[in-house]
Structure 1
Amino acid sequence: MKLERYGHGGDLATATEAYGLPQESWLDYSSNMNPWGPPEIVGELMKEHWRDVAKYPDPAVRRLRAKLSETYRIPAESILVGNGAAELIDLVVRVFKPEETVLARPSFSEYEEAVLKAGGRTRSVLLREERMFELANAREFASGAVFLGHPNNPTGRLIPAHVLDELREAGSRMIIDEAFMDFVPDEEELSYIRRASESEQIQVIRSMTKFYAIPGIRLGFMVAHPDLIRRLAEAQTAWSVNFLAQLVGEAVLDERAYAERTKTWLLEERPWLSGELRSLGLVVYPSDVNFLLVSLAGLEGWNVGRLQRAMAGRGILIRDASLFEGLNDSYFRIAIRLRPDNERLIKELKECLR
């Protein structure tokens, strides 16, 4: 049974069906969540406000939009909150219906799925392994619409500023997925969020589930010109953002110590884990975020399917990255977790690869 049968990592129910281990026993490296878990305030709010689920949520998500406006210093009229980034990816394509959308491959599969469901077509431009999967120039991407991960999934690479500027100057509609931008130390400088609030050419999608480890809540937001936000809001399903999601989203934005701890931890843990993986003979590509793209190239007799099965037998889930167009069966992706988990990962990998 393929562990990514629904197209994503983190599917503990499928892993349990395939291997018989209870969900709570898995060490999940296939899903790129903050390993510190949700901030404590999330549990406190749920305990305190569980009776309030008897009320309808605010359909305009006013308090959370105001908080996002204050946090990012952009107008509330430029913000649309959604049921996770996935809803917003689907919504922006469904509303604007670009005839052709250019995708940098490998990239998040939901970009293409959204385009095809809306009746559009995609054109792929491959990111080169010899360039460490960095998007080096904009010439190949000039088109009516471009969908880009910034940082990209599964490669973990940011898009160089000059490439984004060149695409903007070329007149392309830029849909920029910044789901992992919170993990980047220079987030404020590198994000396109403020440009999007003023331009009809740029739309930025952000996730709140990865950084704050609340994927079960489903929460994200989009930033665009107010005129575009109004069009998107008209097409959005009513009450798609539930009461608890709105409440939690508002609270976690104040968790400054949590955010600083996460960024400080990652700056230390990413190079440590990368070095340990390289010591096993694996190829580890540069990453700007909380996950790593790794290749088994050079290890005779190994492919990702064999490694995934072997590691699952040891209670550890890794992501089969060959499912991303542009990558072959030597690639896998792993999240970066806390040191004790990472030490166990290295120990189990070492035993498997022997």
Structure 2
Amino acid sequence: MLERYGHGGDLWTAEEAFGRPRDQFLDFSSNMNPLGPPPAIRGIWMDAWRDVVKYPDPAVRELRHKLAQKYKIEMESILVGNGAAELIDLTARVLKPAVTGLARPSFSEYEEAIHKTGGRIYNIPLRSSHQFELQQPDVEAALSAVDLFFLGHPNNPTGRLLPRHVVESLLESGRSCVLDEAFMDFVPDEQEHSFLKLASTSRKLVVIRSMTKFYSIPGIRLGFMVAHPDLIREIRQQQVQWSVNYLAQRIGTAVLEGEEFELASRHWLQDEKAWLTGQLRQLGLDVVPTDVNFVLFSFPPELGLTIKQAQKHMGQMGILIRDASLFEGLNEQYGRVAIRLREDNERLIEGLRQTVAALAQNRGRTHD
């Protein structure tokens, strides 16, 4: 199984599974910005190696200062971590909810973090009949059963933003809420949708952001969270000292100054998202509307195909796609692909076209 460790982007497992070198795969299973990393990182690699003999700043002051400037919030409301994954885990450990409401399907690390604390999960369904958009009645039904909501905004793997009125009504109810905005950088008019600024002063809201997706630096491990300063101090006390290394701090500070890169990335995504979703639909696939840089799709039942069959066939062609049936709430027809540059996306579409044809032909032979 390509997702042996619960994630896409595992080129080591792909190498073992499909028998070709890691650098020969075209990876649509992880959702990185294909325009990255930003050019500023090259200069840091060439220069910053001299300073690895020094300890990093334990308070991550320079990067927190840049984040505070960018989002117009106080530094005391910001904690930087070793990727969003560390911050998800830390938040669960400090809040220790007895019952957590999770929208299904969603990122598996929410559930893993809650289970580590001994908490229980309350499932909130995201329905295909509503294009996987969270519905107000389902949130209201969960209010009496949970003491914390942990929600993706936009959600992974569906790519859908949470309706603003749903989040606002949730907060008005007095329940605590953690929003994972790991992919918010990709959303047009980000400021209109993000709850980051509200989280900086609220005692009921936490927002977690990743810097690895938009800036395409997953190997660096870098993210940050925004919450009330009192909660930030409490969580910081549980964080491992020097969790964010020197290179990560330098790189994070540098990429925040790249406004040109941000504009280019959003322009690319606007055009390419429309093209790729159109092509997937032309193949006869059911495509979920997306607000971000990846697409959830499913094979119509009449094709009789599963995503595991497609993933294996395409992996042998050197193209990696995500088996989305591993997300609770999705069946064996669902897959997820990142949006990449046009040349790569053309290879994906051609690979899917060949895969659908080949698997349909094999299925026909077995029925003869």
Band of TM-score, shorter chain = over 0.9
Q: CA deviation at 1:187?
A: 0.6
Is 1:216–2:219 an aligned residue pair? yes
User: Does residue 1:165 correspond to 2:164, yes or no?
Assistant: no
**Within 1, Cα distance between the matches of 2:111 and 2:28?**
24
Corresponding residue for residue 152 of structure 1:
155
Which of the numbers 194, 197, 220 marks the counterpart of 1:194?
Answer: 197
Partner of residue 111, structure 1 = 110
Structure 2 residue 274 is matched with structure 1 residue 277: no
Note if contact 1:145-1:172 (Cα within 8 Å) is conserved in structure 2.
yes
What TM-score do the two structures reach when normalised by structure 1? 0.99
State the partner residue of 1:38: 37
> How many angstroms does 1:140 deviate by?
2.7
- Secondary structure, aligned partner of 2:301: coil
Aligned to 2:142: 141
Q: Offset at 1:299? A: 4.3
**Paired residues of 1:277 and 1:346 also in contact (CA < 8 A):** yes
Task: Say whether 1:331 aligns with 2:334.
Answer: yes
Give 3-state SS (helix, strand or coil) of 1:198's partner.
coil
Q: 1-side partners of 2:63 and 2:355: how far apart?
A: 47
Query: How many pairs does the alignment contain?
Result: 353
- Confirm or deny: 8 A CA contact 1:281 1:299 kept in the other structure: no
- Range with bigger deviation, 19-28 or 79-88: 19-28
For each residue in 1:209-267, what CA deviation from the matched residue of structure 2 results, as whole angstroms up to 9, or x when unmatched? Answer: 00000000000000000000000101101000000000000000011011000001111
Determine if contact 1:81/1:222 at 8 Å carries over to the other structure.
yes
Compute the displacement of 1:114 (Å). 0.1
SS of 1:6's equivalent in the other structure is coil
The Cα offsets for residues 101-130 of structure 1, whole Å up to 9 and x where unpaired, read as 000000000000000001111111110000
- Counterpart secondary structure, 1:9: coil
Contact 1:67 1:250 in 2 (8 A): yes
Structure 1 unpaired stretches of 5+: none
Corresponding residue for residue 7 of structure 1? 6
Give the aligned residue type for 2:339: I
Q: Which amino acid aligns with 2:87?
A: L
Amino acid at match of 1:312: G
- The amino acid that maps onto 1:209 is T
Aligned mates of 1:178, 1:32 — CA distance in 2? 14
Hey, what does 2:304 align to over in structure 1? 301
Q: Which letter does structure 2 place at the counterpart of 1:117?
A: K
Tell me how far apart the structure 1 counterparts of residues 2 and 354 of structure 2 sit (CA, whole Å).
22
CA distance in 2, matches of 1:121, 1:193: 27
In the TM superposition, residue 300 of structure 1 has moved relative to its aligned partner by 2.2
Q: What's 1:252 paired with?
A: 255
Return 5+ residue gaps in structure 2 as ranges: 358-368
Counterpart of 1:88 in structure 2 is 87
CA distance in 1, matches of 2:269, 2:276: 10
For the 8 Å contact 1:34–1:210, the answer to whether it is kept is: yes
> One-letter code of the match for 1:140?
A
1:238 aligns with 2:241: yes
One-letter amino acid of the structure 2 residue matched with residue 122 of structure 1: I
1:308 alignment partner AA: Q
Deviations, residues 32-81 of structure 1 (Å, cap 9, x unaligned): 00011200111110111111111100000000000100000000000000
Q: Distance in 1 between matches of 2:100 and 2:150?
A: 7
Q: Report the alpha carbon displacement of residue 301 of structure 1 after superposing the two structures with TM.
A: 2.8
Question: What RMSD over aligned residues (CA atoms) do the two structures have, in Å?
Answer: 0.7
Secondary structure in 2 matching 1:122: strand
Deviations 1:182-212 (A, max 9, x none): 0001111110001100011000000000000
Aligned-partner Cα distance in 2 for 1:39–1:169: 40
Question: Displaced runs of 4+ in structure 1, greater than 6 A?
Answer: none
Identity %, equivalent residues: 59
| Partner residue, 1:319 | 322
TM-score (norm 2): 0.95
1:280 Cα shift?
A: 0.6
